[in-house]
Amino acid sequence: MTRMNLMASILLLPLGGYSTSALAADGRLAQCKALLANDARLACYDRLAQSIEDAPAKSEQIVSPIALRPTAPPPSNPATTASAPPEAVKNNALAHRLAEESQKNDNPFLIRALKPNYILFATYTPTNLNRPVYDFTPQHVEAKYQLSFQFDWWDRPLGKNTAFYFGYTQLSFWQLYNSEFLNSSASAPFRETDYEPEIGLDLSTKYHLAGLDFRKFRFSFIHQSNGQGGARSRSWNRLALQTAFGTGNFAGVARAWYRIPEARATDDNPDITDYLGYGDLTFAYKLQDGTLSATLRNNLKRQNRGSIEINYSRPINKHIRAYVQYFNGYGESLIDYNRSISRFGIGLALTDWL
């Protein structure tokens, strides 16, 4: 091999088995270049070329220039990616709520919120709450709390986007400050507790109409009762259809129901639909520092009756929120379904609509 060929082979090494970056890394190429005398420099190149020819094993370890291109990141752990919803989901309050529900449903140790879970340590109503059926005199100040959860007990019964669910809501009005300890003759009784189990079919959808995403339809059988007997007994059964919709930070639920008729002799509240109507609307908006929501009902009759409940929650930490509620109208509880009540309360919440 002539010296010119040796130099050419060195300069063209990137096309063969040994890269110039590797030679530069071990310093030998730089040492040859640094020699001023032509003979010495060419002799250095001779030795360098000869050492490459004598070491074919090194050429087998050469990394192809293609392999030096950036590679795709290793597959992520599904357990960690599941906890981080895509950006599109984060920017849609309803989609984010449904994604969190789906994650909780996959975990057998967790249950999902159905309605907000809260306790109002102090509420005030100017309405006289007394009724002949009570064996105590209710105070205007009382505590109010709601427990509400749901879970899917059968996934995909009619296809991959369906599920049979069970839900339960309990709403209690507690005369917490009506006790002997606070110079009252009562013993902090529960003035009213309403129990509301429900069961039905969920259908997940992806319809887009009038700028809104319709993400879920629900067909339900709902029973509601205060668990009392005699003159205090209140109960009714309904078949309901509802849909959840939203866009951006806004979400809503529209629900319509049909009351299942009962025999007049056993019906504790035959005129309940005159006060609670045949459906309700819930709207919620995710603010930067909290959630604002409202639930409305109306009987849509000439003798108009309805109700509105407005809630605002703001996170205190990752577990609890400050919670404020205002209610006005009929049907706050079953015992008071036919009496208009206004109430303001403050407390804490574990979950909200969004």
Active site residues: 223, 225
Structure tokens at 46: 């001779």
Q: Which 3 state secondary structure label does DSSP give 2?
A: coil
Burial status of residue 40 (CB atoms within 10 A of its CB: 0-12, 13-18, 19 or more): exposed
Q: What is the DSSP string of 119-146?
A: EEEEEE--S----TT-SS---SEEEEEE
User: For every residue of 213-267, which 3-state class applies, written as one string?
Assistant: EEEEEEEEEEEEECCCCHHHCCEEEEEEEEEEEEECCEEEEEEEEEECCCCCCCC
Structure tokens at 102: 């789906």
Question: Which residues, in sequence order, are CB contacts of 11 under 8 Å at separation 6+?
Answer: 20
Rounded Cα distance, 151 and 104, in Å: 9
Rounded Cα distance, 62 and 76, in Å: 29
Rounded Cα distance, 317 and 304, in Å: 42
Nearest to 225 by CA among 235, 238, 215: 235
DSSP H helical ranges for the chain:
3-11, 20-26, 28-34, 38-53, 56-59, 78-81, 87-90, 93-105, 272-276
Rounded Cα distance, 297 and 305, in Å: 8
Structure tokens at 306: 């309805």
Structure tokens at 21: 């970056």
